[in-house]
Amino acid sequence: MFHSFVFCVLSFWCVVVFCKGMKTVSVMEGDSVTLQTNVTEIQKEDLLMWKFGAEKSLIAEINAEGGSFNTYDVPDGRFRDRLELDKKTGSLTITNIRTEHAGHYEVIISGKTVTEYRFSVMVYGTAHVNPVLISTVATGSLLTIAVVWIFCICKRLRKTAEEVQSCEEQVTYADPTYCNQNSPKPVR
Each residue's pLDDT tens digit, 99-143: 999 999 999 999 888 999 999 999 987 666 667 677 788 888 888
Is the pLDDT at 53 greater than 50? The verdict is yes
pLDDT of residue 173: 58
Q: How many separate helices (H) and strands (E) can be counted in the chain?
A: 3, 9
Spatial separation of the C-alpha atoms in residues 39 and 62, rounded to whole Å: 13
What is the domain partition of the chain in residue ranges? 20-124, 129-160
| Beta pairing partners, 27 | 123
Please give the class, per CATH, of domain 20-124: mainly beta
What is this structure's pTM?
0.58
Spatial separation of the C-alpha atoms in residues 45 and 68, rounded to whole Å: 12
